[in-house]
Amino acid sequence: VMSSTLLRRELHEGAMKALRRKPMLPTSSSSPTESKSALLDEKEVVDDWLIDDLAINSSRGVKRRRMHEFDGEPQRRPNRLAVTDHGSSRTLETERRNRFRPVSPVNMESDSNDSVVNQQVEGVNENENLSELSELLSSDAPMSQHRGQPLESTPVSRHGSSYQVPLSVFGVVRNPAPRQPEPEMIVGNTLPASQPTAVSQVVHQPPPQVSQMAPPSIKVRVEGKLLLVPLPIPSAEPLTIAWLADEAAKRYYSFEGMEPKLSLTTEDGAMLAPQDPVTLLLSYREVNGVVVSWKMHPITERYREACSELGTDVDEYLERSLDISQASFSLNLKGCSLDAPMLDPVFRASLHQTSLQHLILSDNRIGDTGMQLLAKLVTKLPHLRELDLTCNGITYEGLNVFVHHVVEHQACKRLETLKLSHNRLGKSCVNALSKLMQVTKALTCLSLMSVGVTAASFTGACNLSLEILERLDIGHNTVGSEGVRVLLRYLTCSRLERLSLA
């Protein structure tokens, strides 16, 4: 009894030492973090792809068997290799090896694996089991798993070499795998309480909104301004031409501060009745709005509104001067030292003051900026006869902007007197004035005292027309005798009443 016990102990210790000396299997060269698709590429698949993964190592003759639990007892499937033509000796050897079979994968440190091994070898001679276990561990065949190492990817067939059975033998035809739909974007966690909180729920994105069509509209041109009037749909009342004229007048008032009374016509001049439906004009690109009259508030009220819009203080003297101009037809702001920001509300209030005939702005600080504002005003004063801009710090740039605006709008056709003395206009101002005088056919008095005119101003002037002038003042300029000789060629002596050269 003692000898058998010592023998079993020595065999067990030898098996344990063999396990410790067993080299660890090399890991795969690929990085664990390296992702690989679950589907095989068509180039990687060969005909003989079925691997006999139940084969045993032919060098040891150890066959893997599958054990099933049935009624608490291990049930073994009969070994197909047990019945051979070599007689009972091989059958006994196979039955002897079936008493013990290695289990793969086996973790030597797990108690559960030890219990499975104990069940498999229960009732078998312990000496034979330890002997076969030692012989198996000392063999050259690598273990399938050792201390958590991964299994070898290369299968071994029954005859010790790789063997693959083609699927065509079984009548199987390969079909392409169905394409999996791409996952939707998931955010948040709105699953019921029974689901894990780590799983996010798919958020259904709302369908894209279809842009709504713009409502129909009609373009109305009033005093050179093109206004777009949208048509309300649906409308409680039928839209007529009278409604369109009122809407265009309100929009014009929001831009210019003056509300006109309009009569609408088509592009080709066809007249429209106020009760006609607006739908008649939907096929036209634009409609012309003819100003019949102006709905004007008192000029003092317009001045206060302009000061409120521009954020300036109301000047009582300017307000009183504007009130007087309605009766005298003359706005006299001489010597008030007004600059462009102070004159802006005055010019806005004077828009469409058709009765205004005299505008006296001498001895102020209008400058080139004020000339741009003045150019917009004079185009709305059809009866203006006199414009005095003496000593206002105007240069050639400001004069050129003024002339260009007047010529473009064909304004100041009744202007008779223009005074530009004591402004730094330069020698090129004669060319700009020659363009202005082609529009202002009624201009008879021109004052250019001390503006920088020279003899070259007249010799180099083109299309200069001074035949209609009756009074001309060019004193305090370096014209010279040559300049005077050239100037007299453009004047009509029969009409000329006064020529000042001093």
The per-residue DSSP string of 76-108 comes to EPPPGGGS-SS-HHHHHHHHHHHT----SS--T
Nearest Cα to Cα of residue 358 among 386, 383, 318, 321: 386
The mean pLDDT value for 129-139 works out to 53
Kindly report, residue by residue over 415-467, the tens digit of the pLDDT. 999 999 999 999 889 989 999 999 999 999 999 999 999 988 888 777 787 88
Kindly report, residue by residue over 80-114, the tens digit of the pLDDT. 444 444 444 444 454 555 444 444 444 444 444 44
Question: Could you tell me what percentage of the chain is helix, strand and coil, using 3-state DSSP and rounding each to the nearest 5?
Answer: 35, 15, 50
Helix 396-409 × helix 429-436 angle, to 10°? 20
Confidence of residue 371 (pLDDT cuts 50, 70, 90): very high
Kindly report, residue by residue over 396-408, the tens digit of the pLDDT. 999 999 999 999 9
C-alpha pair distances (Å), 242 with each of 48, 265, 273, 289, 364: 90, 12, 8, 12, 45
| 210 pLDDT higher than 50 | no
Kindly report, residue by residue over 161-176, the tens digit of the pLDDT. 445 555 555 555 555 5
- The fraction of the chain above a pLDDT of 90, given in percent, is 39
Per DSSP, helices labelled H in 138-213 are none
- Classified by CATH at the fold level, domain 299-500 comes out as 3.80.10
Domain ranges of the chain: 217-295, 299-500
> According to the CATH classification, is domain 217-295 in 3.10.20?
yes
Gap between the Cα atoms of 400 and 431, Å rounded: 10
By the 8 A CB rule, do 237 and 230 touch? no
Look at the alpha carbons of 189, 193, 196, 201 in this order and tell me if their dihedral is positive or negative.
Answer: negative
Gap between the Cα atoms of 240 and 244, Å rounded: 7
Q: What is the pLDDT of residue 465?
A: 79
Q: What is the pLDDT of residue 259?
A: 86
Grouping H, G, I as helix, E, B as strand and the rest as coil, residue 444 is coil
| Cis bond before residue 234 (omega within 30° of 0) | yes
By the 8 A CB rule, do 479 and 501 touch? yes
Mean pLDDT of the chain: 75
Gap between the Cα atoms of 238 and 358, Å rounded: 47
* pTM summary value: 0.53
Gap between the Cα atoms of 127 and 124, Å rounded: 9
| 51 pLDDT higher than 50 | yes
By the 8 A CB rule, do 372 and 400 touch? no
